[in-house]
Structure 1
Amino acid sequence: MTSFHSFGDLSRSFQLRLGQHGLKTKLDRLTNELMTGIKSDIPKALGGNLSGISHIESRLKLLTTYQQSASEAQNRLSGMQTALEHIQLVIDDLGPRLLIEPNILEEHGLRESAGSIMRDFRSMFNTLNTSIAGQYLFSGTKTDNASLGGFDSMLAELTTAVAGATTASDIADRIDEWFEAPLGTGGFANTIYQGDDTGSTRFSISPDRRIDINMTANSEELRDTLKGMAIVAYASQTGGAIDDTNLRDLFSEAGARLVKGTVGLTSARAYLGQQQAVATQALARNLAEATTLSIARTNMIGADPYETVTALEETEAKIQSLYALTARLSRLNLTDYLS
Structure 2
Amino acid sequence: MSSFSSIGDLTRPHQLRLGQYTLKAKLNRLTQEVTTGIKSDIAKAVGGDLSEISHIDSRLKILTTLQQNASEAGIRLEAMQLALGQVQSLTDDLGPKLLVEAENLEPSDLILRAQDVEQSLRQVFNALNGNVGGHYVFSGTQNDRAPLGGFETMLSELKIAVAGATTAADITKKIDAWFDAPAGEGGFTDLIYQGADAKGQQVPISSEHHTGSRLTANSPELRDALKGMAIMAYIASAGQTIDATNLRELFTEAGGLLIKATTGLTSARAELGQQQARVTQAQARNAAEVTAFSIARNALIGADPFEAATALKETEASIESLYILTNRLSRLSLTEHLS
* TM-score, normalising length: structure 2: 0.97
- SS at 1:201 equivalent: coil
- SS at 1:215 equivalent: coil
Distance 1:173 1:10 in 2: 105
Partner of 2:243: 243
Letter paired with 1:201: Q
Contact 1:179 1:188 in 2 (8 A): yes
Contact 2:202 2:210 in 1 (8 A): yes
Distance 1:233 1:245 in 2: 18
Partner of 1:225: 225
Distance 2:198 2:302 in 1: 49
Per-residue CA deviations over 1:135-161 (Å, capped at 9, x if unaligned) read 111111111121011000000110011
Distance 1:9 1:299 in 2: 48
Letter paired with 2:266: T
Partner of 2:167: 167
Per-residue CA deviations over 1:148-207 (Å, capped at 9, x if unaligned) read 110000001100110000011110111011111111001111111111116443211111
Distance 1:302 1:122 in 2: 59
Deviates more, 1:85-94 or 1:243-252: 243-252
Distance 2:281 2:272 in 1: 14
Per-residue CA deviations over 1:282-319 (Å, capped at 9, x if unaligned) read 01100100011001111110111100010001101111
Distance 1:76 1:289 in 2: 24
Distance 1:213 1:64 in 2: 22
Distance 1:89 1:212 in 2: 24
Partner of 1:102: 102
Letter paired with 1:277: A
Q: How far does residue 81 in structure 1 lie from its aligned partner after superposition? A: 0.6
Matches within 5 A, 1:204-223: 204-223=204-223
Q: How far does residue 6 in structure 1 lie from its aligned partner after superposition? A: 4.1
Letter paired with 2:318: K
Letter paired with 2:113: S
Q: How far does residue 10 in structure 1 lie from its aligned partner after superposition? A: 3.1
Unaligned residue ranges in structure 1 (runs of 5+): none
The alpha-carbon distance between structure 1 residues 261 and 143, as it changes in their structure 2 partners (threshold 3 A), is same
Partner of 2:179: 179
- SS at 1:213 equivalent: coil
Contact 2:143 2:195 in 1 (8 A): yes
Letter paired with 1:197: D
Matches within 5 A, 1:6-21: 6-21=6-21
Partner of 1:310: 310
Letter paired with 1:109: D
Contact 2:198 2:213 in 1 (8 A): no
Distance 1:68 1:113 in 2: 47
- SS at 2:11 equivalent: helix
Letter paired with 1:266: T
Distance 2:118 2:200 in 1: 32
Partner of 1:297: 297
Percentage of pairs with the same residue: 60
Distance 1:293 1:311 in 2: 28
Matched, 1:328 2:313: no
Per-residue CA deviations over 1:86-138 (Å, capped at 9, x if unaligned) read 10011100000000012221222211111110000011011111111111111
- SS at 2:212 equivalent: strand
Contact 2:198 2:214 in 1 (8 A): no
Deviates more, 1:155-164 or 1:104-113: 104-113
Per-residue CA deviations over 1:57-111 (Å, capped at 9, x if unaligned) read 0000000010111111111111101000010011100000000012221222211
- SS at 1:118 equivalent: helix
Distance 2:276 2:220 in 1: 21
Distance 1:40 1:234 in 2: 73
Distance 1:198 1:186 in 2: 21
Contact 2:161 2:175 in 1 (8 A): yes
Partner of 2:280: 280
Per-residue CA deviations over 1:262-298 (Å, capped at 9, x if unaligned) read 0000010011111111111001100100011001111
Unaligned residue ranges in structure 2 (runs of 5+): none
Contact 1:205 1:211 in 2 (8 A): yes
* TM-score, normalising length: structure 1: 0.97
Distance 1:58 1:252 in 2: 61
Partner of 1:191: 191
Distance 1:107 1:116 in 2: 14
Partner of 2:113: 113
Letter paired with 2:53: I
Q: How far does residue 9 in structure 1 lie from its aligned partner after superposition? A: 3.2
Distance 1:9 1:116 in 2: 100
Distance 1:172 1:74 in 2: 38
Distance 1:86 1:261 in 2: 13
Q: How far does residue 329 in structure 1 lie from its aligned partner after superposition? A: 0.5
Partner of 2:68: 68
Partner of 2:265: 265
Partner of 1:158: 158
Contact 1:140 1:200 in 2 (8 A): no
